[in-house]
Amino acid sequence: MPYIVCAEEMDGQWIAHVPDLPGCFSTQKERETAIGNVPAAVEAYIAWAGGHGLRISGLSAPMIVSEVIRSWMYEDDYEVNAFFASDRPPVAVDELPEYELLLGAAHKDLLALTRDLTPEQLAKELSGERWPIGGIMHHVARAEQWYLDRLGLSFPQAELAVDPFQALAQVREHLRAALPALATRTGAVTLSGEVWTARKILRRCLWHERDHTEHIRKLAGRAR
């Protein structure tokens, strides 16, 4: 069957998502390039999932570009990101095992990439980067905590560990425990002009961790 592609502008780049494959995306500076690279991203995603023992099937050409959404600023200091029609359906209970496997695979990749880095390498400042690698890892944890907070399912920010590995483990354990609660959320919440649902939160968690894992992969050699 054909598959849907949804594109959004974020932080000056375009991200094309494949909603039927949570965590599958293509990021490029130009919108048409991001969309044009989706077939390759789908192939890479299927190979990635297979490498983690996950079987992905049921997608075939052609792809259909369903939505193209630009970000916009809320009260001049908050960039509101896309809410797609595919984000609206509630998360079914029988989808939770697949989400848990996908989240586990993405997390395993990040830990495999960073576990052998020394504290000095994790803290090394890198030219042109906002954070060192350890800071990027902590950013992933904070973002996941913030996503959960959109639906009132997070724990207090002050309780988040300082160590990036501890913070990632803490937030991921909390997310796994919150999955059944996400499946009970059938409505949408709007905060600072942005619409959130359980499905959007899971999409964002998978996208964000996989995106920054590739980011760190490109930086790892510079930290050594």
Strand partners, 194: 191
Stretch among 55-59, 116-120, 124-128, 173-177 having the lowest mean pLDDT: 55-59
**pLDDT at residue 193 tops 70:** yes
Phi, psi torsion values for 116, nearest 5 degrees? -95, 0
Q: Does residue 192 contact residue 162 with C-beta atoms inside 8 Å? A: no
Dist. CA 169–CA 198, nearest whole Å? 21
Q: Mean pLDDT in the chain?
A: 95
Strand partners, 195: 190
Contacts of 103 (CB under 8 A, 6+ apart): 172, 175, 176, 202, 205, 206, 209
Q: Does residue 89 contact residue 101 with C-beta atoms inside 8 Å? A: no
The single-letter DSSP state of residue 67 is: E
Give the pLDDT of residue 131: 97
- From the CB of residue 207, how many other CB atoms can be counted at a distance below 10 Å? 19
Summarised one tens digit per residue, pLDDT across range 125-155 is 999 999 999 999 999 999 999 999 999 999 9
Chain centroid to Cα 173, Å, comes to: 16
Q: Does residue 148 contact residue 125 with C-beta atoms inside 8 Å? A: no
Give the pLDDT of residue 129: 96
Please state the rounded mean pLDDT for residues 1-22. 93
For residue 76, name the pLDDT band (cuts at 50, 70, 90).
confident
| H or E stretch at 80 | strand 78-80
Give the pLDDT of residue 59: 79
**pLDDT at residue 1 tops 70:** no
CATH code of the domain occupying 88-224: 1.20.120.450
Please state the rounded mean pLDDT for residues 198-218. 98
Name the CATH architecture for the domain at 1-82: 2-Layer Sandwich (3.30)
Give me the amino acid identity at 85: A
The single-letter DSSP state of residue 91 is: P
Please state the rounded mean pLDDT for residues 6-32. 97
**pLDDT at residue 189 tops 80:** yes
Give the pLDDT of residue 6: 98
Ordered by start, the domain boundaries in the chain are 1-82, 88-224
Helix intervals (H) in the chain: 31-36, 38-51, 96-114, 119-123, 133-149, 164-182, 198-223
